[in-house]
Amino acid sequence: FDLTGRVALVTGATKGLGQAFAHALAEAGADIVIGGRDAEGAERVKGEIEALGRRAVVHLGDITQREHAQALVDAGIEAFGQIDVLINNAGACVHRPSLQVTDEEWRQVMSVNVDAVWLMAQIAGAHMVERGRGSIVNIVSMSGAIVNRPQWQPAYNASKAAAHHLTRSLAAEWGPLGVRVNALAPGYI
C-alpha cells in the first residue's frame, strides 16, 4: 500500500482516530492536510507527521460552515497542488436520553456529523471529479445501524445513519467519474 506522491486531508486530525488516520496515511507515503479546531493538537500532529518524513500543513476552522470547509480544501491544494484522499473524520456526540437532548445539542451533532461531511465531500469531491480521480472515506459508526447500550445517543445514531446513506449516494454518483466514496464504521475504540 503506497501513497507516495498523494495528498490526504483528514478532518478532526488533532486527536483520537483522526490522528491515527493521519499517521497511517503518512506512513504509507502521503503528505497530510491536518484539519481541526485545536491549534496545539494540530501543531503536535504536524510535528509527528514531519518526523515520519512527510510534509504536513495545518488549517483550523469550523467545517460546519461552508467558507471554513472551502478554506480547508483550498489550503491543501495551495500547499500541495491537489487533494487525493479525504478522510471525513470530525465528529460529535451527546450522551443523553432523548427526552433530555436540547435542540442546540441535536443541531450541534447533526451539524458536525452530517452537514460537515456533506460540505467537505462536496467541496473536495468537486476537485476530485475535475481531476477524474480521488478517494473519500467517511467515518461513520456501527451506531448508524444499531443502538448501542448502555448509553443513549439518539442524535449521534441518527447522524451516523444519515452519513452512511450519504456515502452510498455519493458513491453511486461519483464512482463512474473516478471518485471512490466509502464509509468506515468502527465500533468502540
pLDDT tens digits, one per residue of 11-25: 999 999 999 999 999
156 is a catalytic site residue? yes
CA distances from 162 to 5, 91, 107, 158, 166 (A): 33, 13, 14, 6, 6
Model pTM score: 0.96
Report the pLDDT value the prediction gives residue 189, as an integer from 0 to 100: 72
Active-site option among 156, 160, 163, 174: 156
| Residues paired with 36 in a beta bridge | 60
Convert the pLDDT of each residue in 121-166 to its tens digit: 999 999 999 999 999 999 999 999 989 888 899 999 999 999 999 9
Q: Which amino acid is at 8?
A: A
Chain-centroid distance of CA 60 in Å reads 14
Block residue for cell numbers 445539542: 105
In the numeric block, which cell numbers belong to residue 150? 448502555
Average pLDDT, the chain: 97
